[in-house]
Amino acid sequence: MAKEIFLEIGTEEIPAGFLPKAMADLERMIRKELESARLEFGEIKTFATPRRLALAVSDVAEDQPTLRIEAMGPAKRIAYDADGNPTKAAIGFARGQGVDVADLTLVETDKGEYLFVEKEEPGRPTTELLTEILQRLVAGLTFKKSMRWETLDVRFARPMHWIVALYGGAVVSFTHGNLTSGNKSRGHRFMAPQEFAVTGLADWLKGCRKHFVTADHNERKATIRAQVEATGKAAGGTTALDEKLLEEVTYLVEDPTPLCGTFDKEYLQLPRELLVTSMREHQRYFTIEDADGKLLNKFITVSNTRPEDEQVVVKGNQRVIRARLADAMFFWEEDQKTKLENNLESLKQVIYQAKLGSSFEKVERFTQIAKGLAERFEPAAVALTERAAKLSKCDLESKMVYEFPELQGIMGREYSRIEGEEPRVSTAIFEHYLPTEAGGTLPSDNLGAFVSIADKIDTICGCFGVGLIPTGSADPYALRRSAIGILNVILDRGYQISIPELVEQSLSLLESKLTRSLAEVQADVVEFIRLRLVNMLTTRKFANDVVDAVLTARFDEPGDAVARVEALAALKGAADFEPLAVAFKRVGNIIKGGVDTPVQADLFEADCERLLASAVEETRQAVADLVGKGDYGAALQTIARLREPVDAFFDGVMVMDKDDRVKANRLALLTQVAGLFADIADFTRIAA
């Protein structure tokens, strides 16, 4: 009879950001454990609140199935001597399998007779296995920051206070640190801190609810959403529901209670982003808007308790936000006493990176790159681009950004607007940071795009140049994000930018800072960006082999590479693609690096050679013209017409002829065939 596993780890308050990953890890780990133990199981559910992580697995078999094991041993001639007695090889094989030599049999194979054993390994009861499995599960959970407590040699996100471990309602007993698992959970820390017994998931959910804990995070999130929306409506507006904030608040509370507060209207003159940031990032408040989308001087906080007097809590929150906004107003007014561009000089005293110099030096470098992009794509905007680049980091020295780092770029935009800068310049100061996340907003104007590309390529080249290269998941300078940002901006704006040339220009400005050879750094950076494009395209559901074939053949301009991927993907979708790919793969595999000699017609011995040479000559110019126009779909369709003469060539002659001159001539002809598609894709990498 199948039974339910239930596990709860009770702790002190775990940071909200840790919990979604912890739930995913719990599910992954228990699935792996049960599969490894050969235990059949049903649905896995995970739960999290600030003070608990829980797991339930339905329909878990009571016993492991008996395992039938078959193993092949040494050959008969090695296993037995001339008198038919078992040798050390046979005895050792039997010992390793845990059987007697007499249990071994011989089986006939293509290579002769071999020792063979077939045995059964009885399954263990699930109750025995779970003691080990659940203990490993609790000990195996890791967090980006963990802590020890008391004198215990265990680590967790926060100190543990209780463990519930059940199988079919019965306790699965094990110890972890100073805790022994049992069947007692606990309620809300303040409103119902007492213990309560549970028998499984349904009983636990019911007991939690009775003790002021909404244990299901999905239910809690839906409740908070509905509560906040209703509270905003009651306050005379609508709530600007920030999904990230909603997610965070969900994991900050066990029993959500929404409360609405106000702040002085004078603070509404501050920039919207500043107000929202002050309330969202520091206080976890939801903002309220009027019918026109303008902020009201009201906010919503979600309490983790049900206060006896709500107004006491509201007034406390109002005091906190009043102090926050008063500080913001002070910084806002103080910053405006100094012109934004005056902060540029201060950047000389700010170390960007010890080996790469000051932030001022960085600005000087990427300003040159941005100007170069402007000269190419919008010559009339060179001066504006230079101005935007020079001002782009000046707000880093403002009092506001020092207090609220997440407002970098935003405050530069706002201060420059007040000072009367060209609107495009102000917008670029903000937009050069874009995109800030995968799938995020991209610059809306060339100026922001130019500075964004320039800033990011300087960061990547600088870090690679002094050995600060991402390894595994460690990427402290967010170089992967910068590379993806560069690619997305280039593709979105339709710029024809050579990545190798962009990297070369950036490194020329960094040459005095490099601690590695320039050629090595350039190769590494280009490959790093190429791999980001590979990941982007495969994420967009292009087949791995198509992307690999295109980006192995040539990687230069990202837009050009994407066009080639799209064209090859379309061709691969055709019904007759497989024989075409086989033919072209064969060409590529035979020529290897190719033969750099002209084709000599007088060395042809068969009509199939002459026909292929004629077809190549007829196709060459048409393909060159289409590739020059970037019409890779038509170019590939044109090349595809060569399949029949290529097949006929392979059927009619032996490429590796005994006559070296004939062989070299045939390889030269095939090299010409490969040359037609060499700049589009490497067909040897296509899985046909």
Mean pLDDT (whole number) for 585-597: 85
> pTM value?
0.81
Among the candidates 302, 335, 368, a domain finishes at 335
350 and 424 share a domain? yes
In which region does residue 177 sit, left (phi positive, over 0), alpha (psi from -120 to 50) or beta (all else)?
Answer: left
Q: Give the tokens for residue 250.
A: 């969900």
377 and 242 share a domain? no
Residue span of the structural domain in which 577 resides: 558-685
103 and 132 share a domain? no
Strands (E), 562-676: none
365 is a domain residue:
yes
Say if residue 110's pLDDT is above 90: no
Write the pLDDT tens digit of every residue in 303-336.
999 998 999 999 999 999 999 999 999 999 999 9
Among the candidates 102, 121, 140, a domain finishes at 121
CATH code of the domain covering residue 356: 1.10.3210
Helix or strand run (H / E) with residue 428? helix 423-431
547 is a domain residue:
no
Residue with tokens 């007014």: 333
Per cent of the chain over pLDDT 70 is 100
351 is a domain residue:
yes
321 and 468 share a domain? no
Alpha-helical (H) ranges within 88-125 are 88-97
548 is a domain residue:
no
619 and 583 share a domain? yes
Position 83 confidence tier, pLDDT thresholds 50, 70, 90: confident
The mean predicted confidence, pLDDT, of the chain is 93
550 is a domain residue:
no
DSSP state of 285: P
At 554, give phi and psi (nearest 5°): -165, 135
Write down the pLDDT at residue 107. Answer: 82
Helix or strand run (H / E) with residue 452? helix 446-465
416 and 528 share a domain? yes
Say if residue 1's pLDDT is above 80: no
- Coil, strand or helix: which one is 89? helix
- Give percent helix, percent strand, percent coil of the chain, each to the nearest 5: 55, 15, 30
177 and 229 share a domain? no
Q: Give the tokens for residue 244.
A: 């990230």
Write the pLDDT tens digit of every residue in 612-623.
999 999 999 999
Write down the pLDDT at residue 688. Answer: 61
Mean pLDDT (whole number) for 379-404: 96
Number of domains, the chain: 5
CATH code of the domain covering residue 200: 3.30.70
Mean pLDDT (whole number) for 215-229: 97
572 is a domain residue:
yes
Paired with 165 in beta bridges are 7
553 is a domain residue:
no
387 and 436 share a domain? yes
Write the pLDDT tens digit of every residue in 429-471.
999 999 988 888 999 999 999 999 999 999 999 999 999 999 8
CATH code of the domain covering residue 667: 1.10.730
576 is a domain residue:
yes
CB atoms within 10 A of CB 26: 24
Among the candidates 497, 512, 541, a domain finishes at 541
Max Cα distance, the chain (Å): 104
193 and 235 share a domain? no
131 and 111 share a domain? no
Mean pLDDT (whole number) for 407-421: 96
At 372, give phi and psi (nearest 5°): -60, -40
Say if residue 214's pLDDT is above 90: yes
156 and 176 share a domain? yes
Say if residue 67's pLDDT is above 80: no
368 and 472 share a domain? yes
